[in-house]
Amino acid sequence: MKKITLLLTIISALTLQAQYSTGDVTLSSTAGLEMSVNVDIQSTEVTLTLKGPSDRWFAIGFGGVWMATVSDVFAYDGTGNYDKIGQNQAAPVTDANQDWTLVSNSVAGTQRTLVATRPLTTADADDYTFTNSTAAIPVIWARGNTASNTFAYHGERGITTLSPTSTASVNEYQAINFAMYPNPTNSELNIVLPSNITIAKIEIYDTLGKVAFSKNINEVFNNLDVSTLHTGLYLIKVITDDNTYGVKQFIKK
């Protein structure tokens, strides 16, 4: 499993553009074969969280309402090549340009969770262009009929539209360069403050802008238990006693 660190860039303009999220959207509610998708969009990057059955292929296509209108497909088929090119009435093929970066591939019971990131737009004509806005995202989805990772006639499919909404964003912030690791994490998150800061408050926001975790701290090194948070993307904010703060992102596996 490839791990990458997602950090908000500290920029001199002290401005962070708004973030948008579709939230968790149910695609299939069939017992044991549930599928859901969550798309989080920032100024230059999109994070996809796609859940499906752990024992077979499943896929989602962006930008259309039928196989003939969708070229950009993200699919799990056990090969490690997630970026696919859709074909009319035929199985998608591997895109030569693998623009999605896999963050995590985890299995819990009968469900597999894939988290991946990609720039909003790429140089690949077969890639869907995401926008940092509330623009609707038409998608199609499908999963295998039997326990196999070989693409074949789908057992269930659907069409829907994802509707991003504005989530937590920070308009002005001070560049507190605190350290944070590991990222992604499934249980513990370590926060190391600059040596001149020992009193602060930590707040963690989910993709809907709600505070999912809050704690007052008074040490340079702090170990946070995030095991009870749901899988997904979070915004973490460290606020000092004089109201300066820093913001970063982490992914809960």
Q: Give 179-252's CATH code, choosing from 3.40.50.150, 3.40.640.10, 2.60.40.1930, 1.10.760.10.
A: 2.60.40.1930
One-letter amino acid for residue 28 of the chain: S
The answer to whether the pTM exceeds 0.95 is no
pLDDT score, position 56 = 96
Question: Are both 20-166 and 179-252 of the same fold?
Answer: yes
CATH topology (fold) of 20-166: Immunoglobulin-like (2.60.40)
Structural domain boundaries of the chain? 20-166, 179-252
The answer to whether 236 touches 249, Cβ cutoff 8 Å, is yes
The per-residue pLDDT for range 184-230, each reduced to its tens digit, is 899 999 988 887 787 888 999 887 778 899 999 888 888 999 999 99
The per-residue pLDDT for range 163-191, each reduced to its tens digit, is 999 865 444 444 577 888 888 899 999 98
Length of the chain: 253
In angstroms, rounded to a whole number, what is the distance separating the alpha carbons of residues 152 and 106? Answer: 23
The per-residue pLDDT for range 146-163, each reduced to its tens digit, is 999 999 888 999 999 999
Does 8 score more than 50 pLDDT?
A: no
pLDDT score, position 225 = 94
Q: Give the C-alpha distances (Å, rounded to integers) separating 47 from 68, 101, 224, 233.
A: 25, 9, 23, 8
